[in-house]
A and B are shown apart, each in its own frame.
Chain A
């Protein structure tokens, strides 16, 4: 019998000045069986990866607004072109803020309603499986992963919210362990309890919580595993297409 070679999806993680979670994101990719590829914000090169992750942190010191300056970094030209070709793009926390600032996702993130930086595990209800990070999940399913942010309150214009509703662009909502959504489980005041959204094509996703911190059972919840498993499967599908 001929030996079967299974391709390993290559997932790029962009490091901006002030990124904090790039190493964890690379490690999560490797833990879940992918090949992590370090990318640099100042280059016009995605190194032919099959998926791109914009990690958390405080890019450019969060000066001006969170993600505002990174949203114009050289590599964002390549991310934009990659996204337009349908490539899977995931923005986590600061990465989500960057994608919003770059106009690749609708809405914006402002200071938490409590004004406090919040660091704790939360439950998220999956709202759609039509994205590269939820393809192996079922709508209504609940995952547990941590948040750690001071500026995670999701807002959007009335027109954007209408489109988000009409097109089903919400990917995750803050919920309790049973999937019940309400004020009590909304940590930051996000409108409609939104924790993550996608673009209309479905291939670009951003969320404030941190799946890359939730893949190792030794250090906490493992709700991030199905997100990275989905991302790797989507990356592989794109690579072989």
Chain B
């Protein structure tokens, strides 16, 4: 079976997020002076072939831990099914 996942990778809380800061600093120019606490992360969408859901999920978590995120600086969250972002070309 084929399972669809989305992995969200974010900088650990408390770590400087210069990208988030830069985005935040540009918002007042657009008229949004009420936006704050802006953070920039990364999303990775992938399909996994596996015998069952649990096996696929375990593999995705290992992929996220070993490659998609760096545990020194990042946390990750795994979304799946309808929560996972559609990809260009999907019906």
Chain A interface (Cβ within 8 Å of chain B)?
64-65, 68-69, 72, 100-101, 106-108, 110-115, 153, 155-157, 160, 189
Chain B interface (Cβ within 8 Å of chain A)?
11, 15-16, 18-19, 21-22, 42, 67-68, 70, 72-73
Q: Does the CB pair A115–B18 fall under 8 Å? A: yes
Q: Does the CB pair A113–B72 fall under 8 Å? A: no
A sample of 16 more A-B contacts (CB under 8 A), given A68-B70, A155-B16, is A64-B42, A65-B70, A68-B67, A69-B67, A72-B67, A100-B72, A101-B70, A108-B72, A108-B73, A110-B18, A111-B18, A113-B16, A113-B18, A115-B19, A115-B21, A153-B16
Which residue from chain B places its CB closest to the CB of A158 in the assembled complex?
A: B14
Contact partner of B15 (CB less than 8 A), chosen from A101, A106, A155, is: A155
Return A133 CB to nearest CB of chain B, in Å: 23
Return B18 CB to nearest CB of chain A, in Å: 5
Q: Does the CB pair A64–B67 fall under 8 Å? A: yes
Q: Does the CB pair A108–B16 fall under 8 Å? A: no
Q: How far is the CA of A101 from the CA of B70 in the complex (A)?
A: 7
Q: How far is the CA of A110 from the CA of B19 in the complex (A)?
A: 10
Interface centre among B18, B21, B68 (most CB of A within 10 A): B18
Contact partner of A110 (CB less than 8 A), chosen from B15, B21, B22, B68, is: B15
Kindly list chain B residues whose C-beta atoms are within 8 Å of the C-beta of A156: 72
Interface centre among B15, B42, B68, B72 (most CB of A within 10 A): B72
30 A–B contact pairs at CB < 8 A?
A: A64-B42, A64-B68, A65-B70, A68-B67, A68-B70, A69-B67, A72-B67, A100-B72, A101-B70, A106-B72, A107-B72, A108-B70, A108-B72, A108-B73, A110-B18, A111-B18, A111-B19, A112-B18, A113-B16, A113-B18, A114-B18, A115-B18, A115-B19, A115-B22, A155-B15, A155-B16, A155-B72, A155-B73, A160-B72, A189-B16
Return B2 CB to nearest CB of chain A, in Å: 23
Which residue from chain B places its CB closest to the CB of A115 in the assembled complex?
A: B18
Kindly list chain B residues whose C-beta atoms are within 8 Å of the C-beta of A153: 16
Kindly list chain A residues whose C-beta atoms are within 8 Å of the C-beta of B73: 108, 110, 155
Q: How far is the CA of A64 from the CA of B76 in the complex (A)?
A: 13
